[in-house]
Amino acid sequence: MRLAGPGSSVTAEPRARKYKCGLPQPCPEEHLAFRMVSGAANVIGPKICLEDKMLMSSVKDNVGRGLNIALVNGVNGELIEARAFDMWAGDVNDLLKFIRPLHEGTLVFVASYDDPATKMNEETRKLFSELGSRNAKELAFRDSWVFVGAKGVQNKSPFEQHVKNSKHTNKYEGWPEALEMEGCIPRRSSAS
Residue 2: pLDDT over 50: no
Mean pLDDT (whole number) for 112-128? 94
Who contacts 11 (Cβ-Cβ below 8 Å, separation ≥6)?
Answer: none
The answer to whether residue 113 is domain-embedded is: yes
pLDDT for the residue 1:
45
Flag whether 119 is in a domain: yes
SS3 168: coil
Whether the pLDDT of residue 136 is over 70: the answer is: yes
Quick check: 113 and 68 in contact, CB under 8 A? Answer: yes
**Pairwise CA distance, residues 112 & 85, whole Å:** 10
Give me the mean pLDDT over the 47-66 stretch.
Answer: 95
Burial of 92 (0-12, 13-18, 19+ CB in 10 A): middle
Do the Cβ atoms of 105 and 133 come closer than 8 Å?
Answer: no
Q: How many CA atoms lie within 13 A of 52 on its CB side?
A: 5
* pLDDT higher than 60, residue 6: no
Residue at 172 is within a domain: yes
Rounded mean pLDDT, 149-164: 89
Within-domain flag for 99: yes
Predicted confidence (pLDDT) at residue 62 exceeds the cutoff of 90:
yes
Q: Is residue 30 part of a domain?
A: yes
- Domain ranges, residue 63: 20-183
Is residue 192 situated within a structural domain? no
**Number of domains, the chain:** 1
> What pLDDT, on the 0 to 100 scale, is given for residue 15?
60
Higher pLDDT, 4 or 55: 55
